[in-house]
Amino acid sequence: MEQYGSMPLIGDMFPEVEVQTTLGKMVIPKDFQGKWFILFSHPADFTPVCTTEFYAFQQRYDEFKKLNTELIGLSIDQVFSHIKWVEWIKDNLNTEIQFPIIADNGDLAKRLGFIHPGKGTNTVRAVFLVDPAGKVRAILYYPQELGRNFDELLRMVKAIQIADNNHAAMPANWPNNELIGDNVIVPPASDIKAAQYKKSRYKNYDWWFCYKDLNDKSE
């Protein structure tokens, strides 16, 4: 088997690649400099689950753009196949796919770890969230038979951006966490003095579980 090196992991820089897309040639992540982007793979054009996914992504495209986040798809299909599929979606579902789709011969999919050995040569449903510095911030994998939850992808982008901007961590099911609602978690104390301060300063369950409202900008 041809070797492509290690796939990027969370915290790694996304490798620079030149690709052919439905909107022309692009260099990733260079062409998304200063923006977040989601690169996602789908098993194949002209398939039912993938069609529902592209429709769902496009319905939320404006919401992603409000978060300074671009979208780019990928599958092991030639560009003319992507173009015809995009045309089919426009003609039959009255929806114009406005984000680019990468035409791949399999090299990039292998490099990024998008092909599961037990699933033939089609890509799995992978998602890479990359920040404006080109760093991979989140990776999700879904099996071919399961369509993705696109509201969760939006939540993921919002939550990570808020965590960055507030030096905080985000609880389960944010913004509807069962314990602290839409509050965010304060970073843990590193010494006894800090632990005592945080417990007196913030709402908490204990010194190691303090939380605050998003409007509270204190450290």
Q: Nearest 5°: CA angle at 171, between 160 and 60?
A: 45
φ, ψ for residue 115, nearest 5 deg: -110, 125
Please, how many CA atoms are within 13 Å of residue 52, restricted to the half-sphere of its CB?
10
Q: Which of 19, 38, 50, 71 is catalytic?
A: 50
Torsion on CA atoms 96, 60, 7, 105, rounded to nearest 10: -10
Catalytic residue flag (residue 50): yes
| Residue 132 zone, left/alpha/beta (φ > 0; ψ -120 to 50; rest) | alpha
Q: Nearest 5°: CA angle at 97, between 157 and 120?
A: 80
Taking a C-beta distance cutoff of 8 angstroms, is the pair 121, 41 a contact? no
Residues with a known catalytic role: 50
